[in-house]
C-alpha cells in the first residue's frame, strides 16, 4: 500500500522504436506482493526470470552482473558476458534518445525512476528475449536496461520489470504489436494466468473463451495525453455506490491541458486512487450504506475501514460501478473490498489522490483487459483468469 501511495504521488508530480519485426507473444502471469509478475527468459542460452508487469511505465530491465547495488532475487542475476547475443547500445540509437535521463559513457548509460521513488541505473543494451507458452518465441534485439544499481522495496519479488506503456522503450512498442491483453488472477492467490500480444490477443480474446461472459464485454475509448504519452488514459464519467449515482461533475476526471488530471489504468499500482473530492463522495456514500462501525485505527493503511466480527465469513456491501464512456463496469465485491477476519476489519480498496486518478490492479482481478492501440480502445471482460 505504501508503494502504491508513493507511486500515485510521484505520477501526479511528473510533468516522457526499435524495428525488430512483429511477434506473437504469450507469457505466464502470477500475483506477487501488490503487483503481478510475468515470466520471461533473456540471453543466449536463455536465463529464466520473472519481472513485474507494468502498464504504467516503459523501460524493460533486469539486474545484471557485476552489481554495484542489487536486491536479492530468487533466480541467478543475468551475466551479459555469458550470452552470445548481448550487445551494448550506442548513444545515437533512438531508444537511448527516448530515455528520460541518460549519459554517454562506454555506451548508453541510463537512470530510470518510478512513482514510488524506486529506481534502476545501468547500461542500455539489446538482447534476445524468449517468451513461453505452447510454442516458445525468441525475439532478438530487444532494447533493455542492464541494471547494476537498482533500488526499491518491491523489486525483490522478481528480477526486474517489463514496461508495457505506450512509449518507444516499452515491450509493446518494440514488438510493434497494436493489441495485447492480460488477465489477472486473485492478488492473494497463487494461480497463474496469461499475457498475450499480437494475433494471440485477438484469437484468445475472451469473446470466444468458455471461461468468459462474452455478452458482458465492455469497451471504452483510450485517450492520449501529450504531457504523459506513455500512460493509458480512460474517460471516467461517473461513479455509483449502491443504487445511487454520485453527484460528481462529469468533467472532474477529464484530461487537463497540463496533464495533471485524468484517470489512467495501471497494472503496477495495487489499489485505485480517485481525485480527492470524488473519493470524499465515495467515502460518504459507503459510510452511510454500510451497517458497520468505522474503524479509524489506521492499522490497514487504507482510507476507509469498518469493524466487523472476527468470525464473519461474508458481508453484504453496496455495489460499486465505474461509469466509463460507453462502458459501465460493475465490480464484484472482492475487487473493491478487502477483509481480514483475524483483524476484524473490512476496508475499501481505494484511496484519494490530489490530481491524477489511477485504476489499480485489485480492481482488475478476474477481468480480461484488452488494449487495442489500433482502435484506441480498452475492453473489460469478466473472466475466470486462473482457468485460462
For the sheet with 244-245, list strands across it. 244-245, 236-241, 320-324, 327-331
Q: How confident is the model at residue 216 (pLDDT cuts 50, 70, 90)?
A: confident
How is residue 224 annotated by DSSP?
-
Is residue 96 very low, low, confident or very high in pLDDT (cuts 50, 70, 90)?
A: very high
**Percent above pLDDT 70 for the chain:** 89
Would the pLDDT of 204 be above 50? no
- pLDDT grade for 373, boundaries at 50, 70 and 90: very high
Global pTM reads: 0.90
pLDDT for res 211: 52
**22-36, 144-158, 279-293 — which one is most confidently predicted on average?**
279-293
Confidence of residue 6 (pLDDT cuts 50, 70, 90): low
**Residue 280 catalytic?**
no
Candidates 71, 43, 56; CA nearest to 159 is 71
Q: Would you state the pLDDT for residue 117?
A: 82
Per-residue buried b or exposed e for 360-375, using 16+ beta carbons within 10 Å of the residue's own CB: bbbbbbbbbbbbbbee
CA geometry: angle 156, 115, 295, nearest 5 deg: 85
Name which of 67-76, 136-145, 209-218, 315-324 the model is least confident about. 209-218
The yes-or-no verdict on residue 17 having pLDDT over 90 is no
Q: Closest by alpha carbon to 18, among 255, 242, 206, 177? A: 177
- Which is the catalytic residue, given 266, 295, 303, 372? 266
Highest average pLDDT, of 167-181, 185-199, 289-303, comes from 167-181
Catalytic residue status for 266? yes
Q: Sketch out the chain's domains with CATH numbers.
A: 1-177 (2.40.70.10), 217-387 (2.40.70.10)
Q: How high is the pLDDT of residue 206?
A: 45
Q: Is the pLDDT of residue 232 over 60?
A: yes
Q: For 142-233, where are the alpha helices, taking DSSP H only?
A: 171-175, 199-203
Q: What is the pLDDT of residue 353?
A: 92
Q: How far apart are CA 367 and CA 369, in angstroms?
A: 6
Work out the average pLDDT over 191-219.
71
Q: Is the pLDDT of residue 18 over 70?
A: no
Candidate from 19-28, 32-41, 292-301 with smallest mean pLDDT: 19-28
Query: Residue holding cell 494471440?
Result: 200
Q: Are 246 and 238 in contact (CB under 8 A)?
A: yes
In this structure, of 112-116, 170-174, 362-366, the range with the lowest mean pLDDT score is 112-116
Rounded Cα gap, residues 283 and 245, in angstroms:
13
Residue 11 has pLDDT above 70, yes or no: no
Name the DSSP class of 202: H
**369 DSSP 8-state letter:** E
pLDDT at 16: 31
Of 24, 54, 116, 295, the active-site residue reads 54
Quick one: which of 137, 163, 161, 135 has its CA closest to 21? 137
pLDDT at residue number 3: 62
Amino acid at each position: 500500500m505504501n508503494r502504491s501511495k508513493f507511486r500515485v504521488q510521484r505520477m501526479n508530480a511528473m510533468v516522457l522504436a526499435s524495428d525488430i519485426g512483429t511477434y506473437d507473444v504469450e507469457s505466464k502471469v502470477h500475483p506477487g506482493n501488490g503487483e503481478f509478475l510475468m515470466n520471461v527468459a533473456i540471453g543466449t542460452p536463455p536465463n529464466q526470470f520473472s519481472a513485474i508487469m507494468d502498464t504504467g511505465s516503459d523501460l524493460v530491465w533486469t539486474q545484471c552482473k557485476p552489481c554495484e547495488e542489487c536486491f536479492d532475487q530468487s533466480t541467478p542475476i543475468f551475466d551479459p558476458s555469458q550470452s552470445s547475443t548481448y550487445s551494448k547500445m550506442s548513444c545515437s540509437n533512438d531508444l537511448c534518445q527516448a530515455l528520460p535521463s541518460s549519459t554517454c559513457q562506454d555506451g548508453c548509460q541510463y537512470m530510470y525512476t518510478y512513482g514510488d521513488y524506486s529506481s534502476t541505473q545501468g547500461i542500455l543494451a539489446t538482447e534476445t528475449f524468449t517468451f513461453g507458452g505452447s510454442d516458445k518465441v525468441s525475439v532478438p534485439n530487444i532494447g533493455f536496461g542492464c541494471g547494476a544499481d537498482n533500488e526499491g522495496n518491491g523489486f525483490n519479488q522478481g528480477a526486474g520489470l517489463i514496461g508495457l506503456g505506450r512509449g518507444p522503450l516499452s515491450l509493446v512498442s518494440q514488438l510493434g504489436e497494436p493489441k495485447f491483453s492480460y488477465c489477472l488472477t486473485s492478488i492473494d492467490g497463487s494461480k497463474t494466468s496469461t499475457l498475450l500480444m499480437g494475433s494471440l490477443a485477438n484469437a484468445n480474446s475472451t469473446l470466444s473463451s468458455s471461461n468468459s461472459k462474452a455478452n458482458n464485454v465492455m469497451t471504452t475509448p483510450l485517450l492520449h495525453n501529450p504531457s504523459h504519452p506513455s500512460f493509458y488514459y480512460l474517460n471516467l464519467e461517473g461513479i455509483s455506490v449502491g443504487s445511487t449515482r454520485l453527484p460528481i461533475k462529469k468533467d472532474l476526471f477529464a484530461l487537463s491541458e497540463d496533464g495533471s488530471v485524468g484517470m489512467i489504468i495501471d497494472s503496477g499500482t495495487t489499489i485505485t486512487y480517485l481525485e480527492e473530492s470524488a473519493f470524499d463522495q465515495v467515502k460518504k456514500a459507503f459510510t452511510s450504506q454500510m451497517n458497520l462501525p468505522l474503524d479509524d485505527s489506521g492499522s490497514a493503511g487504507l482510507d476507509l475501514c469498518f469493524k466487523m466480527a472476527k468470525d464473519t465469513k461474508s458481508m453484504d456491501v453496496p455495489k460499486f460501478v465505474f461509469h466509463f464512456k460507453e462502458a459501465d463496469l460493475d465490480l464484484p465485491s472482492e475487487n473493491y473490498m478487502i477483509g481480514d477476519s483475524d483483524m476484524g476489519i473490512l476496508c475499501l480498496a481505494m484511496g484519494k489522490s490530489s490530481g491524477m486518478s489511477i485504476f489499480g490492479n485489485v480492481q482488475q482481478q478476474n477481468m480480461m483487459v484488452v488494449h487495442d492501440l489500433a482502435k484506441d480502445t480498452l475492453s473489460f471482460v469478466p473472466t475466470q483468469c486462473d482457468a485460462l
